[in-house]
Structure formats: C-alpha cells, structure tokens
Amino acid sequence: MANPTTNFGWQMPEPTDLVTDLPADFEVFGQAVDTDFIDLLGGTTGQILSKTSGTDLDFTWVSPTAGDITGVTAGIGISGGGTSGTVTVTNSMATAIDSKGDLIVGTGADAFSNLAVGANTYLLTADSAEATGLKWAAPASSGATLLATLSLSGSSTASGTISSAFRQYQIYIKNGKFAGGINSYQLRLNGDTASNYSWQTFLSKNANELNGSYSSSSTVFNIGQCETTLGGASMFGALIFINRPSDTDRVFINSQSIGFDGGNTFQNLSSGVYDNSAAITSVTLVASGSTFQGDAYIYGVN
C-alpha cells in the first residue's frame, strides 16, 4: 500500500517506525480519516446522502424529493393499482373478451360488456331491445318479397296495402282479361285521384301499327291497352316497376305488357312519374271502362 494512501492521501505508520512512534502515527491517520468523512455525520430518519459539489467526500443529508407518481389508481376499464412496491394494472376490457371475434360494446355511461361473435355471414345490427344495443342478425334477403296478391275479379279496381320499406315494387299481372272490347289497364298510387301522374305510352299492334299517347297531368298512370274478352284464349300480362317508392318528391314508374285476343297481339311500353309528397303505401289497378279478371302479385325488392 502506498504511503500516504493513493486515494485519500492518509499518512500511515512506516515499517521502520519505532514502536514508540506508533501512537502518534495512528493519531495522525485517524484524524485524517475523521476529518475527511465529517459530512457523513448527522442526518435524520428518511434522509438520503447527496453530493454537495464535485469535490471528493463533499456530501450533505437531504430529504428525498417526491416523484411525479406517488400512486396508481385504477380508472374506468382498468383494475389493480397501488401506492408502493410493484404495481400491476389490468385492462378490464381486454379480459372481458372470451374468444375470437368478440366485441366490447358500451351498455351505458362508463359501462361496457362483451358481445360474442355472430354466426358466419351475419351482420352487426342496432337493436335497442338488446342489453348492448346491438345484435348479430342474418342479412336481409336481396330477392323479391311478396307483399300482396290481388284478385282481378268482376270489378274495375283492385287495391293492395304495402310496406314502403323497399327500394322498388314490382307488380306482375297474370292471365288478365277484360269483359270485352279494347280496354286500358291503369295504375293509381295511394288511392290518389288528383292530377299527379305524367306518362307516355307506346302501343304496337300486330308489330306493324305503332301508336302513342301522352299526358302531363293525369289522374292515373296508363300501363297499356288490349282487346280481350272473358272467354277463349285471349289474355294479357304486365310487369310494372315502381322505383324508389319511399321517396317523398317524385316516384318513377316503368311498365311493359303484352296481350293476345286470338287474332291480334298488343305490346305496350310505358314510363312516367308520380309527383306527390308521400311515400307509396298502396297500389290500385284500374280497368278503364270495363271489368277484368286475373291475378296480380305485388313484390318488394331490395
């Protein structure tokens, strides 16, 4: 060991010192140690030793400064927490998930629940009757839904009440017949007999006679005409399209029909608009100037 010591320069007794010199030598050594470590004296419970400056052995006792975080309190969606030691927090929303595809859904103010995954191809649908306000449901069919069947029997009109929840109505008239003569078949919506219909119809008879008719303000929409009788093989059929029936300004209508009376063939193409402010909730078929028979089917299409 170097003498004096390498780090602190304390004077140690020399090997050649006389025995009578040792007390004095140890006094010098001990006083040097005592002087250098004077800053270690004092302090109170809970204090920590802190460097006062860059000088060797320059310390002071200080109270510890509290950090920014003195405790962890679990909030909404979190559990656990604490104020000392190792603190663990858990995401309660994550632990609410039970299996693949589950959803966490709000059930009220600061509340949530697990909504289990639905069946394959099902769609997430709002439903206020459910605890979560949502449910998995089979997708609505995109095909045609039969809304009403009308019997065209011994009357000049036939009406059906329908839902306005579809993007289009399709009306199919099958095996239609008139009492006799050339007659027109027509359409009214919502029972409206005011002049809210505009239409144009083209009539082809036997593929060589082309006639047309037009109205910009009518009380009925014209589908077409045919010369048929209640007997024999004569009949007519029609397909009518009512587009966007839930619109509350204008609803567009298209139709095509064909009739046979044994000697003549009538083909009709019609298009027009119903101009009113109400969604369509009922359909009336009209035989102009006669009575008819047959069947009509009203479909809703999405």
Q: Cα torsion for 221, 223, 225, 226, to the nearest 10°?
A: -150
Whether the CB-CB separation of 226 and 266 falls below 8 Å is answered with yes
- What is d(CA 286, CA 156) in angstroms, rounded to the nearest whole number? 6
pLDDT at 288 over 80: yes
Q: Strand pairing of 111-115 and 103-108? A: antiparallel
Each residue of 38-57: pLDDT tens digit?
A: 888 888 988 988 899 988 88
Each residue of 116-145: pLDDT tens digit?
A: 998 988 889 999 999 889 999 887 666 788
- What is d(CA 268, CA 224) in angstroms, rounded to the nearest whole number? 5
Q: How many CB atoms lie within 10 A of CB 183?
A: 22
Please tell me whether residue 56 adopts helix, strand or coil conformation: coil
At residue 85, the pLDDT reads 78
At residue 226, the pLDDT reads 78
Is residue 4 reached through a cis peptide bond, with omega within 30 degrees of 0 on the bond before it? yes
What is the CA 259 to chain-centroid distance, rounded? 48
The count of residues in the chain is 302
DSSP 195-238: S-EEEEEEEEETTTEEEEEEEEEESSEEEEEEE--SSTT-EEEE
Helix (H) or strand (E) holding 152: strand 144-155
Which of 156, 160, 182, 170 has the alpha carbon at shortest distance from 293? 156
Arithmetic mean of pLDDT, 239-249:
91
- What is d(CA 51, CA 61) in angstroms, rounded to the nearest whole number? 9
Range from 30-34, 203-207, 222-226, 250-254 that averages highest in pLDDT: 250-254
State the Rg of the chain over Cα. Answer: 48
Q: Which stretches of the chain are DSSP H helices?
A: 22-36, 92-96
* Weakest-pLDDT range from 106-115, 214-223, 227-236, 272-281: 227-236
At residue 96, the pLDDT reads 83
At residue 165, the pLDDT reads 80
At residue 141, the pLDDT reads 65
Whether the CB-CB separation of 224 and 238 falls below 8 Å is answered with yes
**Domain ranges, ordered by start, for the chain:** 1-63, 91-139, 144-301
At residue 190, the pLDDT reads 93
At residue 33, the pLDDT reads 81
